[in-house]
Amino acid sequence: MLVLLPPSEGKAPSGSGAPLKPESLSLPGLAEARAAVLDELVELCVADEEKAREVLGLSEGLRGEVAKNAELRTAGARPAGEVYTGVLYDALGLATLDAAARERAGDALLVFSGLWGAVKVTDRIPSYRCSMGIKLPGLGALGAYWRGPMASVLPGAAGDGLVLDLRSAAYATAWRPKGRWRRGRRRYGCCTRRPGRWSATSTRPRRAGSYGACWRRARSQPLRRSWWRRCGTCGTWWRRAARRGRSTSWWTRSTDPRLHPAQRSLRVALALVRMRP
């Protein structure tokens, strides 16, 4: 089983540990691509700070991130699970897992990165700034750049097991399961569970299709928080979206409004990581 996670934009300081050892990272098939991105990023940040800040999409207040990238080869490394911070990783709470759960998390959790491609939470990396959505001068868009290396490495890493994709859209462009992996995916949370891709697109009542019964059941329920209704059969939430400047509105399938998006994703990930084998 693999649980695919996005990285955090903010990261903990590198610390005073031993520097990066690229050969020690998981998925050695990505080593050549990692070296190319690392060389390009360090060269850019060393040569021209202003250009690097523009390429990385950093504000004036984040100028220090450029200097941090320039020292990636000598900066101290620490486990990726400690480097990545923010709501998602705080909720994941790797430090609170018992020994068996930490071992399963080290095997199952795979963090996608614009710099490293994908790393496990146990891989030791320095703190950096390089999102998947940027375009490096010599390599182009990183999402497209990583597509080839990922396609040759990740199917073997996934095997025939479950792949739980919790990545944001920018990181999902680097690798999408195909063939038998893709056919096994389901869209859950609806009265009719049919094979297909995960979808979060708006669905108007008159075009609800297989979700029509779900929407009708939700509409019969009393309003929750004025703009939310819930299907009494499968629990799917529907959100009412008003159109600016018009009196009409439509309903969109959504997730539980009581939870932060990161908490919704981590509910599933934690259940899989913490459960006994």
Distance from C-alpha of 246 to C-alpha of 225, rounded to nearest angstrom: 21
- 189: amino acid identity, one letter: G
At 96 the pLDDT is: 86
Sign of the torsion angle spanned by Cα atoms 132, 136, 141, 146: negative
Least confident of 10-19, 149-158, 205-214: 205-214
- 190: amino acid identity, one letter: C
Between 187 and 275, name the one with better pLDDT: 275
At 260 the pLDDT is: 46
Least confident of 14-28, 95-109, 147-161, 243-257: 243-257
Secondary structure letter of residue 12 according to DSSP = -
State the DSSP string of 173-234: TT----THHHHT-B--SSSS--B---------GGG-GGGHHHHHHHHTSPPBTTTEEE-TTT
At 212 the pLDDT is: 56
Q: Kindly report the pTM of this predicted structure.
A: 0.68
Distance from C-alpha of 147 to C-alpha of 173, rounded to nearest angstrom: 7
Token pair listed for 24: 């020690």
- Residue 204 reports pLDDT greater than 70: no
- Residue 40 reports pLDDT greater than 90: yes
Contact yes or no for 25/34 (Cβ under 8 A): yes
Contacts with 61 (C-beta within 8 Å, 6 or more apart), sequence order: none
**How crowded is the C-beta side of 49, counted as CA atoms within 13 Å?**
10
Mean pLDDT of the chain: 76
At 160 the pLDDT is: 78
Token pair listed for 8: 């955090």
- Residue 153 reports pLDDT greater than 90: yes
**How crowded is the C-beta side of 132, counted as CA atoms within 13 Å?**
24
Strands 2-5 and 163-165: parallel
Confidence of residue 217 (pLDDT cuts 50, 70, 90): low
Closest CA to 158 of 225, 91, 93, 108: 108
Torsion from C-alpha of 82, 88, 90, 94, nearest 10 degrees: -60
